[in-house]
Homo-oligomer: A and B are copies of this chain.
């Protein structure tokens, strides 16, 4: 074992004497032993140890930075230790989650999932009397309404009623639609539904995968008239 050491993977398990390096007797050697001078060994050992401890410090700092950010969210969390702070955060999140869930029960708030559904509400022989319920849920963006309006007009439909809710940058809408005065009487309802679904999906769902969408921090809030 004389004049040998076990790579910088085991810096602390080696014993350094005058100008040679020995493995401590109880340490198993997993790596090929490399002969080197005491100076070279110490150099490598110190460099490795330094970078290791510096990396660990960076990691601790990252965690602690997030902890202080969280501390700002929790009132009276000054003086709390880390575990207590995290406990408060848990309670806080639970509370907020509960509140938004309660709200969602009565307010039909938008979900995180993009979706478009078309329903045929009133089955009629004549097209003029039919009623389509078109629902969508997607990221909110400024041009959404004009696009919807144009699409509805192009399909020769008319908005009979709408219920729109925007919350947290997302938007959920339900439109009641029926054929307008320009609509032909012999339009096939199934193909109209299909067209509506395709057009709405293009507006509400496709943009989220392209870079077209603008993630606006400015959040609008729309509620049906009777809410205000």
- CB within 8 Å of B: which residues of A? 59, 62-63, 65-67, 69-70, 73, 82-83, 86-87, 89-90, 92-100, 102-103, 105-107, 167-168, 219, 221, 223, 226-228
CB pair A168–B98 under 8 Å, yes or no, is yes
Given contacts A103-B103, A167-B102, contact A70 B96 (CB under 8 A): no
**Contact (A73, B87) CB under 8 Å given A106-B223, A219-B102:** no
Residues of B contacting A70 with CB < 8 Å? 86, 89-90, 93
Having A62-B83, A93-B93, A102-B168, one finds 9 other A-B pairs with CB under 8 Å, namely: A70-B86, A70-B90, A93-B96, A99-B100, A100-B103, A102-B167, A103-B167, A226-B226, A227-B227
A103 to B, closest residue via Cβ: B103
A73 to B98, CA, bound (A): 12
Closest residue of B by beta carbon distance from A100: B99
Contact A102-B226, Cβ < 8 Å, known A59-B83, A62-B83:
no
Q: For the complex, give the distance between the alpha carbons of A102 and B96 in Å.
A: 13
A81 to B98, CA, bound (A): 26
A99 touches B221 (CB 8 A): no
Whole-angstrom distance between the Cβ of A110 and the nearest chain B Cβ? 10
Cβ–Cβ contact A106 & B221, under 8 A: yes
Tell me whether B93 and A66 are in contact (CB under 8 A): no
Q: Is the CB of A227 within 8 A of B63?
A: no
